[in-house]
């Protein structure tokens, strides 16, 4: 190894970096976080490794609080005891009128609630008393979720939100069924579990995955209980972070049972192009039994976004999360969406007809909870299996969380232009510019860039900032984690290495979501300083 600044660090040497490269990027970053406060320059630590946003949606939270207040007041109508510490229950009859009287249209939170009910009654034809009753009873959380998959009106509102935010004109709200879950994370877990239990994915099956990708999609399929073979479709910066036609053509092979994708991507932060969407349509025509799971958590951050679900709805399960856009990671709010007519159910029917053992297995498993176990839909199996069958009658997401999601969605549905979406794009956009301007390198401004994250190739940055010989020298002489390590050790700035996402070595990910704009200018400055240090070492060694 060349004479590096690492030599003067007492605690970590090259071998330690070697050890680190066996860990996942989340663990490496956790180690970096620990050493950041002791950085050699005595800087205030900056952590841009996290995807957790540092903003929150205020209106829907306040509205949720007001709905709780209203629900309690309405419960007191039936009876109270213990000086009001106990109240009775909500009655449906006349509740819309009582609600309208309680709410103050001058207050933005109350206005959201009034608008939500108005939207439900006027646009969706929902009965006003039923709507308000579901919201109030759901907000106070006094009943098990019924139906367990999703509250009835919550599903209608969420469907309209998904249609407006992600489908770009395709009208699928009425044909889509939803299962609200404990974040997108639970949706992912339930989907993997159900694809296995339904025999859609068997051990040894091939699943294609668009990489680089959010690491769980690489880590879950290879677990012993799934034992799937991953076919990575690696996109590269040279191809604008899009999959090539040749890569997408691989999906036409019927031995590929499923395609898992994150769109827009994490970490590359790019939406699939229209061309890729057309190509996916073509692929499904050639391989009609292909199952697709699309994780569209970042969809709203890309202008003009269109989900794969709206292109091939019958083949696709859509995973959505409210975590990022609305700053509700602690709430755990996500969902799975499925078309009423889908290949998941078709495959189940075919397997049942073709294989007596599978038929017997399904009958045995689901007859405990439904009268027609063989025709139980994939999405309902997901709900039942999420509670190990035995607890199906108390399954479903907590009702206050369902109402919270409904209000976040309604906040977007009931305003004419998406001012909240614009604000969220503005926040990450400013930080993105502060970072790339600070580095003095042209930023990627192409369409479909969410700017929620940005990937930086360190050797390429070295080449752009100095020259190719210098960057080759770095690659040859240093562990690929060296730059990130020295950035934290010397400057206290934590960035995330992107190799465990499936990116080629040399890429680091910066999240634009979790620090104020100034921090991004600062981190660019530190990176430039560090580049200059490496360059000085390069010159010293190449005299």
Is 493 a residue that touches ligand PLP (CB under 6 A)? no
User: Helix/strand/coil (H, E, C) string of 81-102?
Assistant: EHHHCEECCCCCCCHHHHHHHH
Longest dimension (CA), the chain: 88
Where does this chain touch ligand PLP (CB under 6 A) — which range of 18-26, 27-35, 180-188, 371-379?
A: 180-188
Cβ proximity to ligand PLP: between 235 and 329 the closer is: 329
Give the one residue of 297, 347, 397, 404 binding ligand PLP; rule: CB under 6 A.
297
Cβ proximity to ligand PLP: between 51 and 459 the closer is: 51
CB of 320 to ligand PLP, least distance (A): 8
Give the one residue of 145, 180, 183, 264 binding ligand PLP; rule: CB under 6 A.
183
Token pair of 444 as six digits:
């990627």
Q: Measured in whole angstroms, how far is the alpha carbon of residue 395 from the centre of its chain?
A: 23
- Tell me the angle at which helices 458-465 and 517-541 cross, rounded to the nearest 10 degrees: 70
Where does this chain touch ligand PLP (CB under 6 A) — which range of 62-70, 120-128, 321-329, 339-347?
A: 321-329
Binding track, positions 329-348, relative to ligand PLP; x by CB under 6 A: x----x--------------
Q: How many helices (H) and strands (E) does the chain have?
A: 21, 14
Give the one residue of 184, 299, 373, 396 binding ligand PLP; rule: CB under 6 A.
184
Task: Enumerate residues 244-273 that contact ligand PLP by CB under 6 A.
Answer: 262, 266
Give the one residue of 70, 99, 190, 214 binding ligand PLP; rule: CB under 6 A.
214
Is 148 a residue that touches ligand PLP (CB under 6 A)? no
- Tell me the angle at which helices 517-541 and 419-439 cross, rounded to the nearest 10 degrees: 20
Is 424 a residue that touches ligand PLP (CB under 6 A)? no
The DSSP symbol for 503 reads P
Binding-site size for ligand PLP (CB under 6 A) equals 13
Distance (Å, rounded) from C-alpha 268 to C-alpha 266? 5
Where does this chain touch ligand PLP (CB under 6 A) — which range of 125-133, 182-190, 196-204, 430-438?
A: 182-190
Cβ proximity to ligand PLP: between 462 and 495 the closer is: 495
CB 69 within 8 A of CB 515: no
CB 540 within 8 A of CB 475: no
Listed residue (385, 349, 350, 348) closest to 365, CA to CA: 385
CB of 504 to ligand PLP, least distance (A): 20
CB 383 within 8 A of CB 155: no
Is 402 a residue that touches ligand PLP (CB under 6 A)? no
Per-residue DSSP letters for 8-62? G-SS--HHHHHHHTTS-HHHHHHHHHHHGGG-TT-PPPEE----S-S----HHHH
Is 325 a residue that touches ligand PLP (CB under 6 A)? no
Question: Which residue's CB comes closest to ligand PLP?
Answer: 183
Give the one residue of 129, 295, 345, 537 binding ligand PLP; rule: CB under 6 A.
295
Cβ proximity to ligand PLP: between 114 and 503 the closer is: 503
Distance (Å, rounded) from C-alpha 525 to C-alpha 506? 19
Distance (Å, rounded) from C-alpha 325 to C-alpha 286? 36
Give the one residue of 185, 234, 358, 389 binding ligand PLP; rule: CB under 6 A.
185
Where does this chain touch ligand PLP (CB under 6 A) — which range of 80-88, 137-145, 178-186, 191-199?
A: 178-186
Distance (Å, rounded) from C-alpha 484 to C-alpha 145? 47
Give the one residue of 39, 263, 300, 323 binding ligand PLP; rule: CB under 6 A.
323
Interface contacts to ligand PLP, rule CB under 6 A = 51, 183-185, 214, 262, 266, 295, 297, 321, 323, 329, 334
């Amino acid at each position: 190894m060349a004479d590096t600044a690492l030599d003067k660090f007492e605690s970590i040497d090259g071998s330690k970096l070697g050890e680190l490269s066996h860990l996942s990027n989340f663990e490496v970053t956790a180690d970096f976080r620990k050493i950041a406060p002791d950085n050699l320059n005595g800087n205030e630590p900056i952590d841009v490794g996290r995807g957790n946003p540092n903003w929150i949606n205020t209106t829907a939270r306040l509205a949720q609080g007001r709905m709780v207040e209203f629900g309690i007041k309405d419960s007191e109508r039936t009876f109270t005891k213990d000086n009001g510490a106990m109240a009775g229950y909500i009655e449906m009859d006349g509740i819309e009128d009582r609600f309208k009287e309680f709410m103050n249209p001058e207050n933005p939170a109350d206005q959201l609630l009034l608008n939500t009910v108005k939207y439900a009654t006027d646009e969706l034809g929902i009965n006003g008393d039923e709507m308000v009753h579901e919201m109030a009873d759901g907000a106070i959380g006094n009943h098990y979720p019924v139906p367990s998959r999703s509250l009835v009106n919550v599903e209608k509102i969420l469907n309209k939100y998904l249609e407006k935010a992600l489908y770009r004109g395709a009208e699928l709200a009425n044909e889509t069924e939803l299962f609200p879950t404990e974040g997108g994370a639970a949706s992912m877990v339930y989907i993997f579990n159900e694809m296995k239990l339904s025999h859609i994915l068997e051990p040894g099956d091939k699943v294609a995955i668009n990489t680089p990708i959010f690491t769980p999609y690489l880590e879950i399929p290879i677990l012993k209980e799934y034992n799937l073979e991953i076919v990575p479709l690696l996109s590269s910066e040279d191809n604008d972070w899009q999959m090539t036609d040749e890569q997408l053509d691989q999906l036409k092979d019927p031995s590929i049972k499923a395609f898992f994708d994150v769109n827009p991507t994490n970490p590359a932060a790019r939406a699939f192009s229209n061309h890729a969407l057309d190509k996916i349509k073509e692929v499904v025509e050639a391989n009609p039994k292909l199952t697709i799971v699309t994780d569209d958590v970042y969809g709203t951050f890309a202008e003009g976004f269109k989900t794969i679900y709206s292109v091939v709805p019958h083949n696709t399960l859509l995973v959505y999360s409210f975590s990022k856009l609305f700053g509700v990671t602690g709430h755990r709010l996500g969902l799975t969406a499925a078309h009423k007519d889908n290949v998941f159910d078709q495959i189940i029917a075919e397997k049942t007809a073709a294989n007596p053992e599978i038929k017997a297995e399904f009958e045995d498993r689901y007859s405990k909870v439904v009268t027609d176990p063989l025709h139980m839909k994939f999405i309902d199996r997901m709900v039942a299996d999420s509670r190990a069958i035995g607890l199906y009658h108390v399954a479903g997401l907590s009702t206050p969380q369902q109402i919270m999601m409904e209000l976040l969605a309604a906040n977007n549905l009931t305003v004419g232009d998406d001012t909240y979406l614009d604000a969220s794009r503005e926040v990450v956009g400013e930080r993105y510019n502060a970072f790339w301007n600070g580095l003095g390198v042209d930023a990627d401004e192409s369409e479909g860039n969410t700017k929620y994250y940005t990937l930086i190739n360190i050797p390429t940055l070295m080449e752009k900032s100095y020259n190719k010989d210098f960057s080759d020298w770095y690659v040859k002489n240093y562990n690929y984690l060296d730059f990130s390590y020295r950035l934290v050790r010397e400057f206290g700035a934590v960035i995330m290495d992107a190799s465990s996402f499936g990116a080629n070595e040399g890429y680091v990910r910066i999240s634009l979501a979790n620090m104020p704009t100034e921090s991004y200018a600062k981190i660019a400055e530190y990176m430039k300083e560090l580049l200059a240090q490496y360059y000085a070492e390069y010159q010293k060694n190449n005299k």
